[in-house]
Structure 1
Protein backbone atom coordinates (compact mmCIF):
# COMPACT_ATOMS: atom_id res chain seq x y z
CA UNK A 1 0.00 0.00 0.00
CA UNK A 2 1.39 3.40 -0.94
CA UNK A 3 1.01 6.53 1.11
CA UNK A 4 -0.75 9.38 -0.64
CA UNK A 5 -0.64 12.71 1.23
CA UNK A 6 -4.03 13.76 -0.18
CA UNK A 7 -5.82 10.77 1.39
CA UNK A 8 -4.73 11.59 4.95
CA UNK A 9 -7.63 13.37 6.66
CA UNK A 10 -7.12 16.61 8.55
CA UNK A 11 -7.43 16.41 12.32
CA UNK A 12 -10.53 18.01 13.80
CA UNK A 13 -9.29 17.80 17.39
CA UNK A 14 -9.60 21.04 19.36
CA UNK A 15 -6.47 23.10 19.95
CA UNK A 16 -4.93 22.54 23.37
CA UNK A 17 -3.93 26.09 24.08
CA UNK A 18 -4.26 29.52 22.65
CA UNK A 19 -1.89 32.11 21.39
CA UNK A 20 0.19 34.10 23.84
CA UNK A 21 -0.52 37.71 24.65
CA UNK A 22 1.90 38.95 21.97
CA UNK A 23 0.16 36.92 19.27
CA UNK A 24 -3.43 37.24 20.51
CA UNK A 25 -4.47 39.55 17.65
CA UNK A 26 -3.33 37.08 14.98
CA UNK A 27 -5.78 34.54 13.66
CA UNK A 28 -5.19 31.05 15.02
CA UNK A 29 -4.26 28.54 12.33
CA UNK A 30 -3.58 24.99 13.35
CA UNK A 31 -1.54 22.89 10.92
CA UNK A 32 -3.17 19.70 9.80
CA UNK A 33 -1.54 16.28 9.57
CA UNK A 34 -1.20 16.61 5.82
CA UNK A 35 0.61 19.94 6.15
CA UNK A 36 3.01 18.59 8.77
CA UNK A 37 3.81 15.52 6.67
CA UNK A 38 4.39 17.69 3.59
CA UNK A 39 6.77 19.86 5.64
CA UNK A 40 8.66 16.79 6.88
CA UNK A 41 8.90 15.41 3.32
CA UNK A 42 10.18 18.72 1.91
CA UNK A 43 12.71 19.06 4.74
CA UNK A 44 14.01 15.55 4.07
CA UNK A 45 14.35 16.20 0.35
CA UNK A 46 16.19 19.48 1.01
CA UNK A 47 18.57 17.84 3.45
CA UNK A 48 19.22 14.97 1.02
CA UNK A 49 19.91 17.31 -1.89
CA UNK A 50 22.26 19.38 0.24
CA UNK A 51 24.14 16.28 1.40
CA UNK A 52 24.62 15.21 -2.23
CA UNK A 53 26.44 18.45 -3.02
CA UNK A 54 28.89 18.13 -0.11
CA UNK A 55 30.96 15.33 -1.62
CA UNK A 56 30.80 16.53 -5.22
CA UNK A 57 32.06 20.09 -4.76
CA UNK A 58 34.85 20.84 -7.21
CA UNK A 59 38.27 21.63 -5.80
CA UNK A 60 39.13 25.31 -5.97
CA UNK A 61 41.14 26.35 -8.99
CA UNK A 62 44.79 27.04 -8.37
CA UNK A 63 46.85 29.21 -10.68
CA UNK A 64 49.69 27.33 -12.28
CA UNK A 65 53.24 28.26 -11.39
CA UNK A 66 56.34 27.66 -13.48
CA UNK A 67 59.35 25.79 -12.06
CA UNK A 68 61.07 29.17 -11.64
CA UNK A 69 58.11 30.70 -9.76
CA UNK A 70 56.33 32.56 -12.58
CA UNK A 71 52.58 32.94 -12.07
CA UNK A 72 50.17 31.85 -14.77
CA UNK A 73 46.39 31.74 -15.13
CA UNK A 74 44.28 28.77 -14.11
CA UNK A 75 41.66 29.48 -16.75
CA UNK A 76 41.62 29.65 -20.53
CA UNK A 77 41.54 33.41 -20.93
CA UNK A 78 43.18 36.58 -19.79
CA UNK A 79 39.89 38.42 -19.41
CA UNK A 80 41.35 40.83 -16.84
CA UNK A 81 43.71 42.22 -19.47
CA UNK A 82 41.56 41.35 -22.53
CA UNK A 83 37.91 41.43 -21.33
CA UNK A 84 36.55 40.95 -24.86
CA UNK A 85 39.16 38.40 -25.85
CA UNK A 86 41.75 39.11 -28.51
CA UNK A 87 42.49 38.34 -32.12
CA UNK A 88 44.93 35.43 -32.05
CA UNK A 89 48.09 35.90 -34.08
CA UNK A 90 49.82 33.15 -36.01
CA UNK A 91 53.22 32.06 -34.82
CA UNK A 92 56.16 33.42 -36.76
CA UNK A 93 58.68 31.00 -35.28
CA UNK A 94 58.74 27.40 -34.09
CA UNK A 95 56.69 24.27 -34.60
CA UNK A 96 53.19 25.84 -34.65
CA UNK A 97 53.77 28.46 -37.33
CA UNK A 98 51.64 26.62 -39.93
CA UNK A 99 48.51 26.18 -37.79
CA UNK A 100 45.89 28.55 -36.34
CA UNK A 101 47.17 31.22 -33.97
CA UNK A 102 46.68 31.01 -30.21
CA UNK A 103 48.67 33.83 -28.59
CA UNK A 104 48.62 37.59 -28.98
CA UNK A 105 51.21 40.36 -28.95
CA UNK A 106 54.91 40.31 -29.31
CA UNK A 107 57.27 40.49 -32.22
CA UNK A 108 58.21 36.82 -31.97
CA UNK A 109 55.52 34.26 -31.16
CA UNK A 110 56.33 30.58 -31.12
CA UNK A 111 57.77 27.50 -29.52
CA UNK A 112 61.36 28.65 -30.14
CA UNK A 113 60.91 31.02 -27.18
CA UNK A 114 60.01 28.17 -24.78
CA UNK A 115 62.08 26.21 -22.29
CA UNK A 116 61.72 22.45 -21.79
CA UNK A 117 58.81 22.97 -19.34
CA UNK A 118 56.76 25.05 -21.80
CA UNK A 119 57.37 28.47 -20.22
CA UNK A 120 59.26 31.43 -21.68
CA UNK A 121 62.94 30.63 -21.67
CA UNK A 122 65.40 32.37 -19.34
CA UNK A 123 68.81 31.88 -20.89
CA UNK A 124 71.20 33.19 -23.51
CA UNK A 125 72.24 31.75 -26.82
CA UNK A 126 75.26 33.51 -28.22
CA UNK A 127 74.54 37.21 -27.74
CA UNK A 128 70.72 36.80 -27.69
CA UNK A 129 69.15 36.87 -24.22
CA UNK A 130 65.68 35.53 -23.29
CA UNK A 131 63.99 36.77 -20.10
CA UNK A 132 60.45 35.95 -18.88
CA UNK A 133 58.37 38.91 -17.69
CA UNK A 134 55.16 39.34 -15.72
CA UNK A 135 52.84 42.21 -16.37
CA UNK A 136 51.46 41.89 -19.88
CA UNK A 137 48.44 39.93 -18.62
CA UNK A 138 47.41 41.71 -15.40
CA UNK A 139 50.60 40.82 -13.55
CA UNK A 140 50.77 37.21 -14.71
CA UNK A 141 53.41 35.71 -16.95
CA UNK A 142 51.24 33.27 -18.85
CA UNK A 143 47.68 32.45 -19.80
CA UNK A 144 46.05 29.53 -21.58
CA UNK A 145 44.08 29.65 -24.81
CA UNK A 146 42.22 26.85 -26.58
CA UNK A 147 42.23 26.67 -30.37
CA UNK A 148 40.72 23.80 -32.36
CA UNK A 149 40.38 21.72 -29.17
CA UNK A 150 44.04 22.08 -28.13
CA UNK A 151 45.01 24.22 -25.12
CA UNK A 152 48.23 26.21 -25.34
CA UNK A 153 50.13 28.25 -22.75
CA UNK A 154 51.19 31.69 -23.94
CA UNK A 155 54.09 32.80 -21.74
CA UNK A 156 55.45 36.36 -21.99
CA UNK A 157 59.09 37.41 -22.15
CA UNK A 158 61.58 39.84 -23.59
CA UNK A 159 64.23 38.95 -26.10
CA UNK A 160 67.31 41.13 -26.48
CA UNK A 161 69.61 40.69 -29.44
CA UNK A 162 72.41 42.66 -31.08
CA UNK A 163 71.55 44.82 -34.07
CA UNK A 164 74.91 46.42 -34.66
CA UNK A 165 78.12 45.95 -32.76
CA UNK A 166 77.16 48.62 -30.15
CA UNK A 167 73.33 48.51 -30.31
CA UNK A 168 70.80 45.97 -29.19
CA UNK A 169 67.08 45.74 -29.62
CA UNK A 170 64.68 44.34 -27.05
CA UNK A 171 61.13 43.21 -27.84
CA UNK A 172 58.18 41.35 -26.38
CA UNK A 173 58.32 37.65 -27.26
CA UNK A 174 55.76 34.96 -26.56
CA UNK A 175 56.35 31.28 -25.88
CA UNK A 176 53.54 29.06 -27.21
CA UNK A 177 53.49 25.55 -25.74
CA UNK A 178 50.81 22.85 -25.83
CA UNK A 179 49.62 21.91 -22.32
Structure 2
Protein backbone atom coordinates (compact mmCIF):
# COMPACT_ATOMS: atom_id res chain seq x y z
CA UNK A 1 0.00 0.00 0.00
CA UNK A 2 2.86 2.41 0.79
CA UNK A 3 4.39 1.71 -2.61
CA UNK A 4 1.34 3.14 -4.44
CA UNK A 5 1.19 6.19 -2.21
CA UNK A 6 4.88 6.93 -2.67
CA UNK A 7 4.42 7.16 -6.45
CA UNK A 8 1.75 9.90 -6.27
CA UNK A 9 3.45 13.28 -6.84
CA UNK A 10 3.16 15.96 -4.20
CA UNK A 11 1.04 19.02 -4.85
CA UNK A 12 3.40 21.29 -2.93
CA UNK A 13 6.90 19.98 -3.87
CA UNK A 14 8.29 19.76 -7.39
CA UNK A 15 9.63 16.31 -8.43
CA UNK A 16 13.40 15.92 -8.99
CA UNK A 17 13.28 15.17 -12.70
CA UNK A 18 10.42 17.56 -13.63
CA UNK A 19 10.58 19.25 -17.03
CA UNK A 20 8.74 22.44 -17.94
CA UNK A 21 5.56 22.06 -20.03
CA UNK A 22 5.90 23.13 -23.62
CA UNK A 23 2.91 25.21 -24.77
CA UNK A 24 2.85 26.46 -28.32
CA UNK A 25 1.60 29.99 -28.72
CA UNK A 26 -0.87 30.32 -31.57
CA UNK A 27 -0.89 33.21 -33.99
CA UNK A 28 -3.78 35.50 -32.98
CA UNK A 29 -4.86 36.22 -36.58
CA UNK A 30 -7.79 34.34 -38.10
CA UNK A 31 -7.16 31.95 -40.94
CA UNK A 32 -9.04 32.37 -44.19
CA UNK A 33 -11.04 29.17 -43.48
CA UNK A 34 -12.10 30.39 -39.99
CA UNK A 35 -13.15 33.78 -41.34
CA UNK A 36 -15.20 32.32 -44.22
CA UNK A 37 -16.80 29.75 -41.89
CA UNK A 38 -17.83 32.47 -39.45
CA UNK A 39 -19.27 34.61 -42.26
CA UNK A 40 -21.24 31.63 -43.63
CA UNK A 41 -22.59 30.77 -40.16
CA UNK A 42 -23.72 34.34 -39.47
CA UNK A 43 -25.36 34.56 -42.92
CA UNK A 44 -27.29 31.31 -42.47
CA UNK A 45 -28.42 32.25 -38.95
CA UNK A 46 -29.60 35.66 -40.18
CA UNK A 47 -31.50 34.09 -43.07
CA UNK A 48 -33.26 31.57 -40.83
CA UNK A 49 -34.10 34.34 -38.39
CA UNK A 50 -35.62 36.41 -41.19
CA UNK A 51 -37.80 33.46 -42.26
CA UNK A 52 -39.47 33.65 -38.86
CA UNK A 53 -40.90 37.02 -39.87
CA UNK A 54 -42.78 35.65 -42.89
CA UNK A 55 -46.54 34.96 -42.48
CA UNK A 56 -46.41 31.27 -43.44
CA UNK A 57 -43.79 30.52 -40.80
CA UNK A 58 -46.15 31.39 -37.95
CA UNK A 59 -47.82 28.57 -35.99
CA UNK A 60 -51.20 27.54 -37.32
CA UNK A 61 -54.30 28.60 -35.46
CA UNK A 62 -56.34 26.02 -33.60
CA UNK A 63 -58.74 23.88 -35.60
CA UNK A 64 -61.81 25.87 -36.41
CA UNK A 65 -65.11 25.57 -38.10
CA UNK A 66 -64.41 26.95 -41.55
CA UNK A 67 -67.76 26.69 -43.22
CA UNK A 68 -71.41 27.07 -42.34
CA UNK A 69 -70.98 28.48 -38.88
CA UNK A 70 -74.49 29.64 -38.02
CA UNK A 71 -76.21 26.98 -35.98
CA UNK A 72 -73.24 24.53 -36.01
CA UNK A 73 -70.59 26.15 -33.82
CA UNK A 74 -70.99 23.66 -30.95
CA UNK A 75 -70.26 20.52 -32.96
CA UNK A 76 -66.48 20.29 -32.64
CA UNK A 77 -64.74 18.11 -30.10
CA UNK A 78 -61.04 17.27 -30.59
CA UNK A 79 -61.59 13.58 -29.83
CA UNK A 80 -64.81 12.92 -31.76
CA UNK A 81 -64.74 15.69 -34.44
CA UNK A 82 -68.47 15.45 -35.14
CA UNK A 83 -70.57 15.51 -32.02
CA UNK A 84 -72.66 14.43 -30.23
CA UNK A 85 -71.15 11.01 -29.71
CA UNK A 86 -74.65 9.57 -29.21
CA UNK A 87 -75.39 10.01 -32.94
CA UNK A 88 -75.35 7.07 -35.35
CA UNK A 89 -72.09 7.10 -37.37
CA UNK A 90 -72.13 3.84 -39.36
CA UNK A 91 -73.64 2.91 -42.76
CA UNK A 92 -75.16 6.36 -43.18
CA UNK A 93 -72.91 7.87 -45.87
CA UNK A 94 -73.50 8.08 -49.58
CA UNK A 95 -70.13 9.30 -50.78
CA UNK A 96 -69.33 12.17 -48.43
CA UNK A 97 -72.96 13.19 -47.84
CA UNK A 98 -75.63 11.75 -45.59
CA UNK A 99 -77.50 8.88 -47.19
CA UNK A 100 -81.05 9.47 -48.47
CA UNK A 101 -82.39 5.95 -48.74
CA UNK A 102 -85.83 4.59 -47.97
CA UNK A 103 -85.62 1.49 -50.18
CA UNK A 104 -85.52 -0.84 -47.15
CA UNK A 105 -88.79 0.41 -45.64
CA UNK A 106 -90.78 -2.81 -45.82
CA UNK A 107 -91.23 -5.84 -43.61
CA UNK A 108 -90.14 -6.27 -40.02
CA UNK A 109 -86.47 -5.33 -40.46
CA UNK A 110 -87.20 -2.02 -42.15
CA UNK A 111 -84.99 1.03 -41.91
CA UNK A 112 -84.32 4.27 -43.77
CA UNK A 113 -81.95 7.25 -43.83
CA UNK A 114 -82.59 10.85 -44.81
CA UNK A 115 -80.55 14.08 -44.59
CA UNK A 116 -81.60 16.86 -42.23
CA UNK A 117 -82.04 19.95 -44.38
CA UNK A 118 -83.11 22.17 -41.47
CA UNK A 119 -79.90 22.02 -39.42
CA UNK A 120 -76.94 24.37 -39.90
CA UNK A 121 -79.15 27.07 -41.39
CA UNK A 122 -80.43 24.64 -44.04
CA UNK A 123 -76.99 23.60 -45.23
CA UNK A 124 -76.86 20.02 -43.83
CA UNK A 125 -73.07 19.91 -43.44
CA UNK A 126 -70.04 21.51 -41.87
CA UNK A 127 -66.32 20.92 -42.14
CA UNK A 128 -63.13 21.35 -40.16
CA UNK A 129 -59.64 21.80 -41.52
CA UNK A 130 -56.56 21.89 -39.33
CA UNK A 131 -53.96 19.74 -37.64
CA UNK A 132 -56.36 17.68 -35.52
CA UNK A 133 -59.10 17.00 -38.03
CA UNK A 134 -59.89 17.33 -41.71
CA UNK A 135 -63.49 16.19 -41.73
CA UNK A 136 -66.82 16.91 -43.32
CA UNK A 137 -69.89 16.09 -41.26
CA UNK A 138 -73.27 15.80 -42.92
CA UNK A 139 -76.19 15.24 -40.59
CA UNK A 140 -79.51 13.48 -40.95
CA UNK A 141 -81.73 10.85 -39.41
CA UNK A 142 -81.87 7.06 -39.18
CA UNK A 143 -85.19 5.31 -38.51
CA UNK A 144 -85.83 1.63 -37.91
CA UNK A 145 -88.81 -0.43 -36.86
CA UNK A 146 -88.39 -2.24 -33.54
CA UNK A 147 -90.05 -5.57 -34.34
CA UNK A 148 -89.18 -7.53 -31.24
CA UNK A 149 -89.59 -4.80 -28.63
CA UNK A 150 -91.98 -1.89 -28.70
CA UNK A 151 -93.23 -2.46 -32.28
CA UNK A 152 -92.69 1.23 -33.03
CA UNK A 153 -90.54 3.33 -35.29
CA UNK A 154 -87.39 4.51 -33.53
CA UNK A 155 -85.66 7.62 -34.94
CA UNK A 156 -82.04 8.50 -34.13
CA UNK A 157 -79.91 11.51 -35.02
CA UNK A 158 -77.29 10.45 -37.56
CA UNK A 159 -74.03 11.99 -38.84
CA UNK A 160 -72.08 10.99 -41.93
CA UNK A 161 -68.43 11.69 -41.04
CA UNK A 162 -65.89 11.63 -43.88
CA UNK A 163 -62.27 12.67 -44.25
CA UNK A 164 -61.57 15.54 -46.64
Q: TM-score category by the smaller chain?
A: 0.3 to 0.5
- Normalization by structure 1: what TM-score? 0.44
For the pair shown, the structure with the greater C-alpha radius of gyration is 2
